[in-house]
A = this chain, B = another copy of it.
Amino acid sequence: MKYGFGVDLGGTTAKIAYFDREGTLLHKWEIPTNTGNGGAAILPDIAASVQAFIQDNRIDRSQLLGIGIGVPGAVDDAGVVYRCDNIGWGTVAVKDTLSGLTGLPVAVGNDANVAALGESWMGGAKEFRSMVMVTLGTGVGGGVVIDGQLLVGAGGGAGEIGHMILNRQETERCSCGRYGCVEQYCSATGIVRMARRMLEASDTPSCLRETEKLTAKAVFDGAKAGDRLASAVAEQFFADMGTFLANVCCVIAPEAILLGGGVSKAGDFLLEGVRQAFGRFAYHAHRETRFVVATLGNDAGAYGAFKLILG
């Protein structure tokens, strides 16, 4: 049996996992991400941690397939990143550097893409050949897998579905500088923004007026409990999700759409609402698209990163 490592590099920690080639996660641990000094210590720290694991466990290096790593930024074909703001990186030749430090083959991918690959390979979309993962968190991330392979796109730009324009008439600016992106409506932050707008635009009594902290969870809980205003916010969210996912399907027609990220913890309520809205907005050829939820949680990135090595 052959083995390898999957690394999910985040702003706070790097999650490292050891897999066999069948995709069994055998061991996992975390190390802090040292973003000081332009993130210069990040790859040496990861290399040292992996080397120590190999040595401590007396692993035969000839059995090792390599290290896959997901990084928070766009990656080119040569495994080079040009900017990862939240870990301090400018241009870093991740593949060559990490390979040089460990003597192992290295494959590099974008973190959102790699999480999609993980869910496609061993998680919620395992039974589908093609899928789009939608990560609903502070922002809206995405990843596209076709025939089991990650779609990277020119300049690593595929799967940026959170920046599809949903409403050209929007007057508030998205973090990207444009107006009306999906992220402004469907992220946790976006849901709260929409709820605030609706609260300000009416005097309808609502449980949302009394919550200490207005969150996406409070909105969904309110809607589940039948609160009228919360339900209206949720309906708008579902319609926005349904529309933009219908548009994603027009481009690539995936077999399945997988929902992940913090917002997706709203579970069946979310899945059912999105599925129904999608049914209203989808082009007829795409109505059979399946909806599933992420199952690997925080490990998705490590699974997908290791899968990069297997090809």
B252 touches A168 (CB 8 A): no
- Please report which residues of chain A, range 227-261, place their CB below 8 angstroms from some CB of chain B when the two chains form the complex: 239, 243, 246-255
A154 touches B251 (CB 8 A): no
**Min distance, Cβ A293 to any Cβ of chain B, angstroms:** 19
- The interface centre, meaning the residue of A74, A249, A254 with most chain B CB atoms within 10 A of its CB, is A249
Q: Bound complex: CA of A22 vs CA of B108, how far in Å?
A: 35
**Min distance, Cβ A57 to any Cβ of chain B, angstroms:** 38
Interface range, A side? 35 or more
The residue that A160 contacts in the complex, of B163, B243, B253, with Cβ under 8 A, is: B253
Task: Report chain B residues within 8 Å CB of A250.
Answer: 160-164
A160 touches B254 (CB 8 A): no
- The reply to whether the CB of A281 lies closer than 8 angstroms to some CB of chain B is yes
**Min distance, Cβ A122 to any Cβ of chain B, angstroms:** 21
A251 touches B165 (CB 8 A): no
B247 touches A153 (CB 8 A): no
Task: Report chain B residues within 8 Å CB of A289.
Answer: 154
Identify the closest chain B residue to A130 (Cβ).
Answer: B154
**Min distance, Cβ A187 to any Cβ of chain B, angstroms:** 15
B153 touches A252 (CB 8 A): yes
Task: Report chain B residues within 8 Å CB of A288.
Answer: 154-155
**Min distance, Cβ A127 to any Cβ of chain B, angstroms:** 13
Identify the closest chain B residue to A282 (Cβ).
Answer: B178
A153 touches B254 (CB 8 A): yes
Task: Report chain B residues within 8 Å CB of A157.
Answer: 249, 253, 283, 285-286
Known: A151-B146, A176-B284. A165 touches B247 (CB 8 A): yes
**Min distance, Cβ A46 to any Cβ of chain B, angstroms:** 26
B284 touches A161 (CB 8 A): no
Task: Report chain B residues within 8 Å CB of A239.
Answer: 168
Q: Bound complex: CA of A262 vs CA of B140, how far in Å?
A: 37
B281 touches A251 (CB 8 A): no
Indicate with 1 or 0, residue by residue over A267-311, a CB within 8 angstroms of chain B CB atoms. Answer: 000000000000001011110110000000000000000000000
A253 touches B285 (CB 8 A): no
A285 touches B74 (CB 8 A): yes
The residue that A283 contacts in the complex, of B146, B152, B176, with Cβ under 8 A, is: B176
Task: Report chain B residues within 8 Å CB of A153.
Answer: 130, 252-254
Q: Bound complex: CA of A58 vs CA of B14, how far in Å?
A: 67
Q: Bound complex: CA of A255 vs CA of B164, how far in Å?
A: 18
Task: Report chain B residues within 8 Å CB of A254.
Answer: 153-154
**Min distance, Cβ A295 to any Cβ of chain B, angstroms:** 21
Known: A130-B154, A165-B246. A251 touches B144 (CB 8 A): yes
Can you give 13 contacting A-B residue pairs, CB < 8 Å?
A: A74-B285, A132-B251, A151-B252, A152-B253, A154-B254, A155-B286, A157-B249, A158-B251, A159-B251, A163-B283, A164-B246, A164-B251, A165-B281
9 cross-chain pairs, A with B, having the tightest CB-CB distances, nearest first: A153-B253, A157-B253, A157-B285, A158-B253, A163-B283, A164-B247, A251-B251, A154-B255, A164-B250
